[in-house]
Amino acid sequence: MVISEKRAKEQVRFLAAEVGCSSPNNNDVLTCLQGTDAGALNAAQTKLLAQRGPFQTWGPIVDNLYVKETPSRMLQHKKVQKIDLLTGSSEQDGLISRAKAIKRFEETQGRVDKTAFYQALQNSLGGDEANSQIQDAAVWFYSLEHSSDDYTGFSKALEKATRSGLDLPEDVVYAFGLPFHTNYKSQFSSEEQILSLKIMQYVSNFVKTGNPNFPYKFSRRISKELPAWPMYLAHSNGTNYKEFSLSLTNNQGLKNSECSFWNDYIQRLKESTRLQSPFLQTEKTPESKLMASPAPTSPKQEKEGYNRRK
């Protein structure tokens, strides 16, 4: 959600006053804020949120440089820029939250039938009707598969549940450095904190340069360069991804065996039956009509039919 330039400047003035950076000169205010300890800024912002509520929440402004229009106008114009994308998944990803959000959105658009819902859900997962530009933009891909031990699925769920207050996807937890947060750091091991630093460095490099491999040092606690992250490259010899685990190894073909039914069998089935839609509707060709027609049979004798019923 974008906010107005006036509101953004007002929020800066409130924050600057709270940490002793007030000045009539905007450049002086900015320099002072940049030199203020991050903990002091966070404490001041937390206090202002308690006092002013949603009026102190931050958001981008339409500056005609990075954000040239409001999101609503961008959606109306359907202007899509070709950009590189860094995306991925977590080992325990699920569909419940995604499905609920899509269902609510479809209902607000007046589309409440099941067909529209399942089509929207399929598109959100990269289905037949998904935007090809998004698929082509998946340049860097990761899979968060870290766990501190070889737990069962139940044990993993139990471990996550005991991390109170962390109702977030695990990739978000590590990418935003929550293992170092005062309230949560005791719930993470030193190895998990190092993993968080490395993930933050990859993400920061991508945000700054468009390449997660750029040699930008995010933290002095990381003594050597990170393992190279190959591009995804959507072809038979590609589909590379970075495994977000303690080893940070590179792999190919994430969940190939699990997805082989849809990627291989269904594709061959579509080709062999000339399917025209994702809902398994076949084109009525002379051959298909012939196959669908029952073979002619001679009428059964009354006695034969009676004996079979017995």
Residues in the chain: 310
Q: 276 is written with which tokens?
A: 């025209």
Decide if pLDDT at 75 tops 90.
no
- Domain coordinates of the chain in residue numbers? 1-79, 85-252
What pLDDT band is residue 310 in, cutting at 50, 70 and 90? very low
Report which of residues 177 and 278 the model is more confident about: 177
CA proximity to 163, closest of 142, 199, 143, 192: 192
- Whole-number Å distance between alpha carbons of 197 and 304: 80
Question: Once rounded to an integer, what is the mean pLDDT over residues 283-296?
Answer: 45
What pLDDT band is residue 70 in, cutting at 50, 70 and 90? confident
Decide if pLDDT at 14 tops 90.
yes
At 90-114, the pLDDT tens digits run 765 555 666 666 676 666 667 767 7
What pLDDT band is residue 83 in, cutting at 50, 70 and 90? confident
**Contact indicator for 19, 33 with CB cutoff of 8 Å:** yes
State residue 220's pLDDT score. 65
At 226-266, the pLDDT tens digits run 889 999 887 767 889 999 988 899 999 888 887 788 778 87
State residue 156's pLDDT score. 46
- Whole-number Å distance between alpha carbons of 96 and 39: 36
Total-model pTM: 0.57
Question: Once rounded to an integer, what is the mean pLDDT over residues 299-309?
Answer: 44
Question: Once rounded to an integer, what is the mean pLDDT over residues 171-181?
Answer: 88
DSSP assignment of 241-305 equals EEEESTT--EEESTTHHHHHIIIIIHHHHHHHHTB-STT--B---HHHHHHHSPPP-PPPPHHHH
Report which of residues 215 and 131 the model is more confident about: 215
State residue 131's pLDDT score. 60
State residue 68's pLDDT score. 84
At 47-67, the pLDDT tens digits run 888 887 766 678 888 888 888
What pLDDT band is residue 127 in, cutting at 50, 70 and 90? low
Tell me the pLDDT of the chain averaged across its residues: 74
**Contact indicator for 232, 139 with CB cutoff of 8 Å:** yes
